[in-house]
Structure 1
Amino acid sequence: MKASNDNYLNNPLIHADRMLKRKSSEWVRSFSCEDMKPLIICRGPIRKEAMDVFDEMGVHGYGILLSEKDSITYANALAPELRKLTDPSRVHRVPDYSGATREERGQRIQQIIQIAKDNGYDSIFTGYGFMAEDEEMVKSMEDAGLNFIGPCSKTVHDAGLKDEAKRTALNVGVSVTPGVDNATTLTVLSKYPDQQALENLCREKSLDINSAVLENMELTLEAKAEAVLNASLQKGIDLFSIAELGEVLKNSIVEMYRGWPENRIRLKAISGGGGKGQRILQAPSSFEGTKEEKIALAAAKVPELVLEILNEVKCNGIGDNKNVLGELNIETTRHQEIQVVGNGAWCITMGGRDCSLQMHEQKLLEVSVTTEELLTAIKKAEADGKNAELETLRKDLDILDQMETEAAKFGQAVGLDSVSTFECIVDGSSHFFMEMNTRIQVEHRVTELCYKLKFSNPEDHSDSFVVESLVEAMVLLARHGKRLPKPERLPREHASVEARLNATNHALQPHAGGIIEQWSNCTDGEIRDDQGISLHNPDTDVFMKYHLAGAYDSNIALLLTTGETRLTSYQRLSEIIRCTTLRGKDLATNLEFHYGLLNWFIGNNINARPSTGFIVPYLTAVGQLKEAASQIDLSFAYGLLRSRHLEPIDDDRKSLFVSVLDRKSGLLRRPIDIMFQEPHQLAGWLSINQHNFKEDAGSIIWLKNPIDVLVDLYHFLNMDYVEGNPAANMIWSHDNELLQKAVMFYQTLKQRLGVFNYSELDRAVAKDTAVGFDAEQWTAIQSAHAGYQMGTEILSVLPYIAGKTGFFDLSVNADLSIHIPSALTDSALQERMAKMLAPPPVASSDEILSESGGMFYPREAPGMETFVEVGSHFNEGDALYIVEVMKMFNKVYAPFAGTVEQILMEGDGVIIKKGQPLFKITPDEDFAVESPEDVSARRHSATAQFLDTLK
């Protein structure tokens, strides 16, 4: 496996077998795409990937669209792709990609069409960009005579709109999530409840609708209302207000709650995607009162959330399709998806991906789900006698087969003529179709790494070519369509995994801004898609600083690798992240989160089946680790420990022991200090080390030599000694010398005694004599053992913290489900631990500060009243403002009650920084501030409790 710095051409894992130019077969050469001249109108890693694939296919006349907001990076350059595409005539600038309103979107579409015509481009590639699933955009491109490299507009309409997709799925026998998919139609009927009212409406609004439709007695009134609604959308007018839509949807949600009072309900815009335009309503059971009172309270926020959703997806203008779905939120759900490829005549699937590890609807870690890997896991579970695990794995294999069958059936029904993704939720042994994404997805390489497509000549099966890139498949399908024969799916690797490296803080909240000043090179087995950020200046070999402007999303890079099993793929990715250094100014990423999460699964069970609700409780558990660590004064602890060791020693020998303990202080405390500051790494380390210790009567007993534990800890933190490395990044040389002497001592002792288990070794050394050693030698060995172990008790603080917080209670059950302690699902604790992981800026008692950088909005939507004004009294939990970070709208609520004395921000869409004062306020109650002396006393008390557990 060869390393790659986002170089699609040099990595054999993703280097497609493109033989169209080199093979002598006339049939193979007939599928050349060299005559194409595409315009790339997406950004990020997919743009760079498309450029690389096009080049290898011989498609060299491509151009790119470059937004003014497009990741402004360093002083003399914009997007890093410009290092490769140096011809300015092929770089076309626009204000942004999609526009902020319906009118602006239309203008941008026409601008792109004009750019294509003026520069001779014949096709459009949108990747997984903003308009990849925009039916209006695709149709406009088609009408302009441009070849759209992706699903056609009919497929986008039938499969891409979430309400249409669900109806199609039902028609072809695909299971769907229970819910409401026609809220806008129901709203029309609430205002125009009979045939006469609909006819009058059509005349009044001059709607272009066939009178035969309204007069058709076989059609239901609902079907007629839907036809009227579609006619209004075509004309670009509204038949109802957003407030009216919200009330109707609320009534529908009330009816849903009567059937499922224990379930939450998900609201989502039909045009949403990538986590945008979705909100979740709490279950009635989480409220107090009678059944009907609980239902009313649970549904009360629907109108407000509908407005939020439509604002977020920018479908709040006149004539926009404002349909919002209400779906049952299956609480134990896993999010799985099937890769589908078709040419309009045939449809084939390429295995699945598990995307359950997500937060705020944003995927974090994506894992392949393949028949081959599941069969391997099943075989191992059988051999290990793990019957409950075996049953789950067999169910998963059956579900995968069902989902692939339904995906192909659905793709055929919508005439899929490119690459799309069939998304499902899995609940136990059941699964439900969610939606189809009519585009390539961010995680498409998870599939590429596991499967490839072999296209064979129908008249001569020895005459064939293989495609390993889904981008290449899209180009071939756009250029040659139904000429392409149905391919054969061939396996490549059994397992693959992708981590999304995002600009987020430790609580996974978006962190706009920040500058990457250093990024280590790729390691063996690493596939890094970073749009070229980590490439060095070709002339000076200097890393070029990169500014994470965050105008569009928080993604920095995609980190991928493969393995024969899921375990080996996770272990490889963990090693890749361990060796990665990423530093910069005001830089926050989720690199440490991924390191901890990967090792949590490695340490518990790699086949664990987390639900989409796993990450927040997991973060809460990690937050508790940090909170407990913050109570320990490590310097104070080591000082007391030092005193304990010295107390029984006579004065003549005390100076020697003082020297030993003082010399070991930095060796022992330094990695623990780092763990205390990096709770995600602590979580990962505890997970993979949980079998190296046990608790006995409240004390930690090490089953592994603490010296070996310490060596592994430095390695885990990527602080191994390397000659010439900066001292700040590794174990100090004198500490390494001491540690290596200890390692050599125990290696020799184990060989001499023939004892390799640490507990047995420790007991053996405690004996008065040993075979093969005279009294003087044995005394020296005992002294050396005592000296090397002296002070290592401080390492017990790490498992002590885990026990104190119940960290190991978050565990994997025998059937691969995950046991989540109920405390970790408490919303108040979750919120408090999020602040522990990412502390908000420290404010004075008379002001409210911005919790993050982004765009400040004082109101719900343009033209509406501001949330607060000077003199307003607000209660705890009231909305104060909205901040848009990485294209996600976050409503910020008051942490306490008070009165607004001064508003420090003017206008909508104003850029703010984290910690910036926004409001001067007078709180209803005075805040008590803990003194430094009280803090110290509290920490010393907690530290003393830890020391009391040491034997």
Structure 2
Amino acid sequence: MSNEHYLRNPLIHRDRRLGRRHTPWVNQFDCTHIRPLIICRGPIRKEAMDVFGEMGITDFGILLSEKDSIVYQDALAPELRSLTAPERIHRVPDYTGMNKEERDERIRQIIGIAKDNGYNAIFAGYGFMAEDETMVAAMEGAGLNFIGPCSRTVHDAGLKDEAKRTALKTGVSVTPGIDNGTALTLLKKHPDVNSLKALVAEQALPLDAAELDDGDVSLADKADRVLAASYAKGVDLYTVEELCETLQEAVETMARDYPQNRVRLKAISGGGGKGQRILGIGEASRTPELVREILNEVKTTGVGDNKNVLVELNIETTRHQEIQVIGNGQWCITMGGRDCSLQMHEQKLLEVSVTVESLQAAIEQAEAAGQTTEAQILKQDLVTLQAMEDEAARFGEAVGLDSVSTFECIVDRDKHFFMEMNTRIQVEHRVTELCYALKFTNPDSPDDYFVVESLVEAMVLLAAHGENLPKPDRVLRFNDSVEARLNATNQALQPSAGGVIEYWSDALEGEIRDDQGISLHNPDTDMFMKYTLAGAYDSNIALLLTVGDTRLATYEAMAETIRRTVMRGKDLATNLEFHYGLVNWFLGQNINARPTTRFIVPYLTAVGELKQRANNIDLSYAWKCLCQQSLGEYTGDAQRALQESLVLKQSLLLRPIEALLAQPHILSGWLSVNRDAYTMIDGAVSWNENPIELLGDLYHFLNMDHCPGQPAASMIWDHDDAVLQQALAFYDTLNSRLSAEDWEELQSVLAANDAPDGVDGDQWSAIRSAHKGYQSGASILAVLPSIAEATGFYTLTVNDNLTIDIPERLEETELQEAMAKVLVPPPAAKSDEILAASGGMFYGRETPEHDLYVQAGDHFNAGDPLYIVEVMKMFNKVYAPFAGTVDEVLVEGDGVIIKKGQPVFKITPDEKIVVESPEEIAARRKQHTDAFLEQLVRE
């Protein structure tokens, strides 16, 4: 964690053994006796190391998986740069194993490592087996202190089917659907109590058959008890095919009852986007295929695994919100909410705090501005937040929550539904702890207290002293916070593994960066050390956070943080540009907008359309035409002077435009915050602001300000900066001398031949000449808004009621897929090859038990599945872009590492693939550029 301690109380966090108040009551909560083994990875591992150190816990160790460094060389954990004691570093082949047997073996191995090395506690963070009831119970059984919810809570709240039943019992709103597909499957074969008893006897299951005679327990619950006993013994009582049949029937019923909604399938043990699929309207027949994908993805395909998959109504206009909950088994409190709606493929991207204080302030501001509709929506959000917090606390108490967990909901306008409880700390937990701290007070002395600002620290305190901790008060730190997940993904947000970070600028003041230690400099040279982004697990590189007293200030701080962040590397692709564009989109629209979970893909599609138009602009040709037209209006000395001016300003004007055309996400951000800078009049762009001032702002927006000592390629050039600063100074002086209210009025004044009062004729002539010189060529900037107009970019907009108006075209699957390819063109291939669209692990079949999708000699149609690539924990099925026949499979076996652009199949296409010639490309670009030139402002 870099540059974040200014947000913490140094008296508390400087040294946990010495920093607290020295009172007997406070001292009883010392945690230095805890010796934890950290069995997670990524930013949470480094954060835990830092927090443990601050608490005075020095005897901790970390567990490393060999999988990262096996897949990619030199992908060592960056934490090893600070933790250099070899006896505290332990290794396993991977964290979870590929199946139940390997997973059980890994649990035994972790327990053995802890016992052999004197660790008395386990910290599992938010990945891998953090919510695995079997693991938690095994740790508890081995006498290890699990820093997280106990096994009872994990069972009652962590398993999605159990959680849904608990929610119903405690009066928590839930989504329609079924949570007991496995029980229903079993009851098809054994439909009554006697049949279930016979099954228990036949399989010698560890279950007292008398339990099945309880008249207060439903038949479905009795079936669940039988299933639980079968999981304990490690036997299957149903086949995957039988389960798929039951689930397909449930999907078909849901489709009849809710014909306008899609259906979500969700593994009970999934999380972080894994183990979930959405069936489109009319796609019930795909249920078996997707269920198998889900079970394979969450690794529950083994004998004795609980293969239950929930079937739920997919609320189409959902916002994904979650409540931070914390308890000690007796008391339970909430710490506000987080809006996690900005996500794609169930992977969160930008997470925003939702607090009572922030909403109250926003309501007051909206009312003061006369924004009645917005104020009403914000008031409803406040009511919803308070209701969710109340339900979350009651649910936490019902499941005996004795640590930190998250109560997740979907919000549909004025309704909300409980989705699941994650019985672990969340990736985005810092969003909450930056808004609220916890104040623990001595019940016998209100002046005797201590404050906890870290949820990781709170977890340790609860694990060590839970039953003795009094119920805390939540203390406001900041009204708002926001987190951007910096991921190794390409411009279309597809995982992109294997890149090398060769340089990363230091964290700014006010930036909170959790980067798992990547930013740690070489202690001898103080230089940044290269880091390879491995692809075995997930795509996250870092978590970037900012805070503020308003959401607007928080977003502005995030935009400034990203603007000044510089990251360079080899084969490196990240979503940093995406975040810059997205944050500025909201700044330009309305930071109180209420996006749904379906927003990102249409937004990406709109950005793709910008890129498609930008690709069709020949900027050099446009500049040449503009210069010729401008020069044609003058003769003699005036023409020569204008020509010199245009030559002098060519790079000044074209470099930033070229940068925007090449970076569609940044173009999106710039267009969003400058949407009022122009007006279309009779099909032409008319500026509402001085183009020269816009140009200066553009250089700043691109982080290309003049900074002596910086590489020339990343900033405005010296001679260009001299011209720009001279022009800006000219207009500053002019604005102070003339009484023009805005750019339009200033232009009118300058168009007059007669000098205004206080300016003589010669001066006025010189001023007007200088103005023409400074404005010469500036109309080329109109290329940028012309692209927005041509694509309808601004039709993606925020309504008065804070919903987002998404044009129908942006929700068309074909356009979405096409624009994803525009953002990230597929690797150039020969007409007889299919290349890997991304790197990762290759699988030629759905599961080990299934046949290959295709093999030599097979014919395939466009849209048929060809293979699966596992990259950064997600399984991505790759479909044929056209029809053809497989001549040769170039990847042998499953589980083979492939690289982006690598030939996977030799094929013969059904039809000849037509490739556009360079001449055709040039003609197309000229045609589009001519159309844009018609919209340029005439000088």
What TM-score do you get using the length of structure 1 for normalisation? 0.97
Is the aligned partner of 1:674 residue 2:659?
A: yes
Correspondence 1:858-877 to 2 at 5 A: 858-877=844-863
Is the aligned partner of 1:715 residue 2:713?
A: no
The CA deviation string for residues 179-228 of structure 1, in whole angstroms up to 9 with x for no partner, is: 11111111111222334433332232222322223344554432332222
Is the aligned partner of 1:224 residue 2:222?
A: yes
Which shifted more, 334-343 or 690-699?
Answer: 690-699
- Is the Cα–Cα contact under 8 Å of residues 16 and 468 in structure 1 kept in the other structure? no
Which shifted more, 599-608 or 652-661?
Answer: 652-661
Correspondence 1:368-767 to 2 at 5 A: 368-767=353-752
Cα distance between partner residues in 2 of 1:795 and 1:13 = 48
Cα distance between partner residues in 1 of 2:384 and 2:269 = 28
- Is the Cα–Cα contact under 8 Å of residues 72 and 547 in structure 1 kept in the other structure? no
Flag the 1:913–1:791 CA change in 2: closer, same or farther, 3 A. same
Cα distance between partner residues in 2 of 1:74 and 1:538 = 25
Residue from 104, 128, 135 that aligns with 2:102:
104
Cα distance between partner residues in 2 of 1:637 and 1:231 = 74
Cα distance between partner residues in 1 of 2:369 and 2:9 = 31
Cα distance between partner residues in 1 of 2:580 and 2:12 = 30
Cα distance between partner residues in 1 of 2:453 and 2:708 = 41
Correspondence for 1:149: 147
Correspondence for 1:948: 934
Number of equivalent positions = 934
- Identity score, percent: 64
Q: Which amino acid aligns with 2:499?
A: G
Give, in angstroms, the shift of residue 37 of structure 1.
Answer: 0.8
Give, in angstroms, the shift of residue 853 of structure 1.
Answer: 0.2
Cα distance between partner residues in 2 of 1:693 and 1:920 = 52
Correspondence for 1:208: 206
Flag the 1:617–1:86 CA change in 2: closer, same or farther, 3 A. same
The CA deviation string for residues 225-262 of structure 1, in whole angstroms up to 9 with x for no partner, is: 22222221111111121121111100011111111000
Cα distance between partner residues in 2 of 1:50 and 1:19 = 14
Is the aligned partner of 1:892 residue 2:857?
A: no
Residue from 766, 770, 773 that aligns with 1:787:
773
Cα distance between partner residues in 1 of 2:901 and 2:10 = 43
**2:341 match: secondary structure:** strand
Residue from 288, 302, 320 that aligns with 2:287:
302
Cα distance between partner residues in 1 of 2:211 and 2:253 = 30
Correspondence for 1:90: 88
- Is the Cα–Cα contact under 8 Å of residues 891 and 904 in structure 2 kept in the other structure? yes
**1:301 match: secondary structure:** helix
The CA deviation string for residues 97-137 of structure 1, in whole angstroms up to 9 with x for no partner, is: 11111111111111111111111111111111211101000
Correspondence 1:850-865 to 2 at 5 A: 850-865=836-851
Q: Which amino acid aligns with 1:574?
A: A
Residue from 824, 839, 844 that aligns with 2:825:
839
Give, in angstroms, the shift of residue 83 of structure 1.
Answer: 1.8
Give, in angstroms, the shift of residue 337 of structure 1.
Answer: 0.4
Flag the 1:882–1:75 CA change in 2: closer, same or farther, 3 A. closer
Correspondence 1:323-402 to 2 at 5 A: 323-402=308-387
Is the aligned partner of 1:138 residue 2:136?
A: yes
Flag the 1:890–1:13 CA change in 2: closer, same or farther, 3 A. farther
**1:300 match: secondary structure:** helix
Cα distance between partner residues in 2 of 1:840 and 1:128 = 34
Correspondence for 1:290: none
**1:344 match: secondary structure:** coil
Question: Structure 1 regions of 5+ residues with no counterpart?
Answer: 285-297
Give, in angstroms, the shift of residue 330 of structure 1.
Answer: 0.6
Cα distance between partner residues in 1 of 2:7 and 2:84 = 24
Residue from 795, 799, 816 that aligns with 1:830:
816
- Is the Cα–Cα contact under 8 Å of residues 20 and 465 in structure 1 kept in the other structure? no
Which shifted more, 8-17 or 632-641?
Answer: 8-17
Is the aligned partner of 1:113 residue 2:111?
A: yes
Q: Which amino acid aligns with 1:641?
A: L
Q: Which amino acid aligns with 2:65?
A: S
Correspondence for 2:279: 281
The CA deviation string for residues 441-500 of structure 1, in whole angstroms up to 9 with x for no partner, is: 111010110001110111111111110010110000000011000001110001000000
Give, in angstroms, the shift of residue 47 of structure 1.
Answer: 0.9
Q: Which amino acid aligns with 1:863?
A: E
Which shifted more, 119-128 or 62-71?
Answer: 62-71
Question: Structure 2 regions of 5+ residues with no counterpart?
Answer: none
Cα distance between partner residues in 2 of 1:752 and 1:612 = 52
- Is the Cα–Cα contact under 8 Å of residues 45 and 125 in structure 2 kept in the other structure? yes
Correspondence for 2:888: 902
- Is the Cα–Cα contact under 8 Å of residues 439 and 449 in structure 2 kept in the other structure? yes
Cα distance between partner residues in 2 of 1:712 and 1:845 = 46
Correspondence for 2:913: 927
The CA deviation string for residues 842-896 of structure 1, in whole angstroms up to 9 with x for no partner, is: 1111110000000000011113210001110111111000000001000101011
Is the aligned partner of 1:813 residue 2:799?
A: yes
The CA deviation string for residues 577-604 of structure 1, in whole angstroms up to 9 with x for no partner, is: 0000000000000000000000000000
- Is the Cα–Cα contact under 8 Å of residues 75 and 534 in structure 2 kept in the other structure? no
Flag the 1:15–1:634 CA change in 2: closer, same or farther, 3 A. farther
Q: Which amino acid aligns with 1:241?
A: T
Q: Which amino acid aligns with 2:284?
A: A
Cα distance between partner residues in 2 of 1:895 and 1:782 = 58
The CA deviation string for residues 4-63 of structure 1, in whole angstroms up to 9 with x for no partner, is: x53665653899557663422100001101111111111111111111111111111111
Correspondence for 2:236: 238
Correspondence for 1:26: 24
Q: CA RMSD in A?
A: 1.5
Give, in angstroms, the shift of residue 945 of structure 1.
Answer: 0.7
The CA deviation string for residues 555-579 of structure 1, in whole angstroms up to 9 with x for no partner, is: 0000001001000000001000000
The CA deviation string for residues 625-658 of structure 1, in whole angstroms up to 9 with x for no partner, is: 0001111110000000000001121144322221
Cα distance between partner residues in 2 of 1:794 and 1:652 = 24
Correspondence for 1:289: none
Give, in angstroms, the shift of residue 76 of structure 1.
Answer: 7.5
What TM-score do you get using the length of structure 2 for normalisation? 0.98
Correspondence for 1:271: 269
Correspondence for 2:79: 81
